[in-house]
Amino acid sequence: MNINEIAKEVFLIESIEIANLAQYLTSDFEKAVKDILKCQGKLIVSGMGKSGIIGKKIAATLASTGTPSFFLHPAEAYHGDLGMIESHDIVLLISNSGETDEILRLIPFLKLQSNIIVAMSGNPGSTLAKNSSYHLNISVKKEACPLQLAPTSSTTATLVMGDALAVALMKLRNFQDTDFAQFHPGGSLGRRLLTKAEDIMRKKELPLCSKESGIKEIIATVSGGKMGLAIVTEGDKVVGVITDGDIRRAMETKESEFFGLKASELMSLSPKKVASKAKLTEVQNIMTTYKVNSLLVCDEEQLRGVIQIYDIGV
């Protein structure tokens, strides 16, 4: 028995079932998305068993992409948590068979409260489908499970339909990466999008020298600053940068005159800069594009600080 072939068969079966979902889309999907978009409340997701596990993921995806959402366990709902559902909320009920008792028992309350019900099931003729405002068909012809018992293709189809809802809502809301970052401030994406250059730059004891500084002073400045560079300033403005690489190259090419060199003769006139309000994504992009390890943080040529690649930390 070839184990890899088993895995490939699973991939094939489930990919076919996912592709088949497109033919089951009706106007109910579009109508459901539009109602969720204008909903003044929350989108509450509920499902039992494996459908519940998938429902939790759908709710989490929606919540992180601009649609207020949470998962409500149907059994807990029937024992007091129905109070979490307000009349202006929309409820997404998930049941592959459309006949799950714990789910069906919620319907009378939701109808009494006039909630919009969006159903996900694999049976358009089910009790759940018939009692919903909109039905999203997630039926599959074949489970990946060889016994046709364990939910495999069907749970994948449910997950994909939930992703389709989330992505449609994201696009209609014009949800951007900066919006996403606000909901994920603890992750690397949030840090890159919300952190600014001024938040991570080094601004004390910067390695500064003047255009008239001699080579000994320059070397001492580079060594003392521990940043691999010396920043050449004239008044409050940056006029150039000298890196330890510039010094090494000068030692090789200008050996006879090396100890008589001044900063004005060594410095690079166009150091890479970034504004203090620039986001970390911009800092990363400049460093990657120009293959530099250090950036000067300047506002209108006035030096504010220095960022080095290890300061980014993402």
* pLDDT (tens digit per residue) in 89-120: 999 999 999 999 999 999 999 999 999 999 99
Rounded Cα distance, 21 and 138, in Å: 7
Per-residue pLDDT of the chain (314 residues; tens, 9 = 90+): 799 999 999 999 999 999 999 999 999 999 999 999 999 999 999 999 999 999 999 999 998 888 889 999 999 988 878 888 999 999 999 999 999 999 999 999 999 999 999 999 999 999 999 999 999 999 999 999 988 888 899 999 999 999 999 999 999 988 776 555 555 555 555 555 667 888 888 888 899 999 899 999 999 999 888 888 999 998 878 889 998 888 989 888 887 888 889 998 999 888 888 998 888 878 888 888 888 888 899 988 788 999 888 777 54
Q: Give pLDDT tens digits for 188-227.
A: 555 556 678 888 888 888 999 998 999 999 999 998 888 8
Helix H or strand E segment including 185: none
Residue 45 tokens read as 């997701």
Residue spans of alpha helices (H) in the chain: 3-24, 27-38, 50-64, 74-77, 101-104, 107-112, 127-130, 153-173, 177-183, 188-194, 197-200, 215-225, 244-253, 263-266, 280-290, 309-312
Domains and CATH numbers, the chain: 3-175 (3.40.50.10490), 196-312 (3.10.580.10)
Residue 276 tokens read as 């203090």
What is the residue type of 217? E
Location of structure tokens 């099931």? 121
